[in-house]
Amino acid sequence: MDAHFDQVQRARQLALGGAPRNYFAYSTVLDRPAFEEWRAQHGYEGFELPAGQLAEARDVGLVFDFPSRWWGGRVAGLADAPGQRVFGRLFEIAAEDWPIVQHKEGAITGMCVERELEVLVGGAPIRAVAFTTAPGRRSLDGPVSTRFLAALQSGARTAGMPEAYLEELRALSAP
């Protein structure tokens, strides 16, 4: 358990009875081993993501703009990128669980900020929230984390992302 656990628990109590939120997850939260390790380290062993749906965010791309000590290099956020797309999973998160998602994504520590976007699920547009690097924390210094890339690729594969997208992610690791 870390120092933010009590803060998250207070926020969860305040959110009880609120409206659920659509969460577009595109990163390491989709990698089961990485997610389980995070849950255990932070005291959320009982939290599970609900069943999600494959989703596509258009006109955005991955940008490796956050140097992470934990991952040993830069990790990805989202940036406007006309013509590009990022696949992920759309989850409906209960209001009282949203603070856990905020903690996982780094919003609690100011690492990330919420970004509203439109995703396509089965061809239908749905408004959702994703997380991306906070403007004041962006940096392109240092290498991209190879551990992060491996978790990103593993999560995308197990989340059932299209083969063409998996190929794009694998190409990020190529020298």
In this predicted model, what pLDDT tens digit does every residue of 103-133 receive, in sequence order? 999 898 899 999 999 999 999 999 999 999 9
Q: How confident is the model at residue 6 (pLDDT cuts 50, 70, 90)?
A: confident
Q: What percent of the chain is modeled with pLDDT above 90?
A: 79
Q: How do the domains of the chain map onto residue ranges? A: 5-166
Which token pair is 86?
Answer: 């990022």
Mean pLDDT of the chain: 94
pLDDT exceeds 80 at position 1:
no
For residue 51, CA distances in Å to 76, 134, 156 come to 24, 28, 15
Beta-strand ranges (E) seen in 7-155 are 21-25, 53-68, 73-93, 112-121, 124-133
Average pLDDT over residues 17-39: 94
With a threshold of 0.95, does the pTM exceed it?
A: no
**What kind of fold does domain 5-166 have according to CATH?**
Hypothetical upf0131 protein ytfp (3.10.490)
Q: What digits encode the pLDDT tens for the residues 57-98? A: 999 999 999 999 989 999 999 999 999 999 999 999 999 999
Q: Considering only CA atoms, which of 40, 27, 130 is closest in space to residue 71?
A: 27
Coil, strand or helix at 81:
strand
Q: Are 21 and 95 in contact (CB under 8 A)?
A: yes
